[in-house]
Structure 1
Amino acid sequence: MTILFDIGKVLLDFDFESSLRRLIPAGDPDPEGRMRRILGDKDAFERGDISLEDYLDEAERQLGPGATRQNFIAAWRGIFTPNRPMWETIDRLAADGHRLLYFSNINPIHAPWLFEEYEVFRHFEGGTCSYLARLIKPEPAIYHHVVEKHGLVPKHTLYIDDLPANIATGEALGFRSHLYDLHRHDAFESWLAAQLG
């Protein structure tokens, strides 16, 4: 069985704001506004519409002279924590010979670093990163890209994601889809067992 996994809130939990908030100068009169400005172009960055250099330049402008590029990258990468229950499931699926692929809205600060940093990715044959595909979920075009790139048959492919809009597109295109909740891993396990028969 081929199984397509989102990364954020599925394989890894993340918290952008707590990590990035440490870079905002103390006494800033509008820390929430500054945070919105820093994250405001994230979708365009993950679609590959903004280059890494341009994104880092803008982040430095938004954060001011107290934040270095290196600190920003470290904070941006420091958002993740492993989802251990899912990692145990991945270990089992890999041992059983299933084909595992990642499918993520992701940017070049996180990838390929993330694939080298977290051991769970050793089980993955590969996958699709939005910034490389120049497409983004939930747009149908990136799902068609994934089908073609990996030779998938949607009705024979399991797809796991945490966002309802992404799952809706997956279901519309015929993927056997599950809306994942980090706090209800048991519900995923029940669904998975039923899908694998």
Structure 2
Amino acid sequence: MSSLASYPEEEIRHAIEVLAATDDELIEEQILAHADLGIGFLVKVRGVDDSVATHELTKALSGLRSVVDPATARAAQATENVWREIADEFGLLKSSEVGELLGASKSNREFASIRRNRGELLGVVRNNGYLYPGFQFDRSTGAIRSWVKPLLELAGEHSMGAADVLFWMMSPTTYFGGDRPADHTNDGDQLLDVARRSWSVEW
């Protein structure tokens, strides 16, 4: 049986995102697609409380018949660290907080999800719900930054999901002299230009 280290980094990251979401139906769909890894793991995941962090979930990987190598464990912890970094530095807003920030009425519970579905807002599944990174908002004006929609459209052209965009925003790049794209949210034109160049690179 193949080691998890043999899978591309993007697949490992997606698997970790699925586990972090702790959504029973989604987890079952992903695991049953690779039933040879063991239904026992699915049972363990179902027993994990929704509030458990990714690094705690990775302990359940010990029940797999395949070897969980140190690289996979490091990938899981690195992913969790990025979530914490976003929360500490920019905030991870719930739907209700997004609505309040953007001036929606308290009764409008669908405000954030409507804009997310329109591709106007970056929302990523986390612990069984959507959270919205704070770097996409101009808090001084109470608005979504103008680059968010075109960035998400560009991501779609490159078959990138919301989680891919989120992690790209938090990853240092030479296009910004080692800074993260999230450090340059005030310059939408430059941010979009860097995204086009970064995502168009073929290896």
Give the structure-1-normalised TM-score: 0.30
Give the structure-2-normalised TM-score: 0.29
Q: Using CA pairs below 8 Å that are at least 6 residues apart, which structure has the higher relative contact order?
A: 1
The structure with more strand, counted as a fraction of residues? 1
The structure with more helix, counted as a fraction of residues? 2
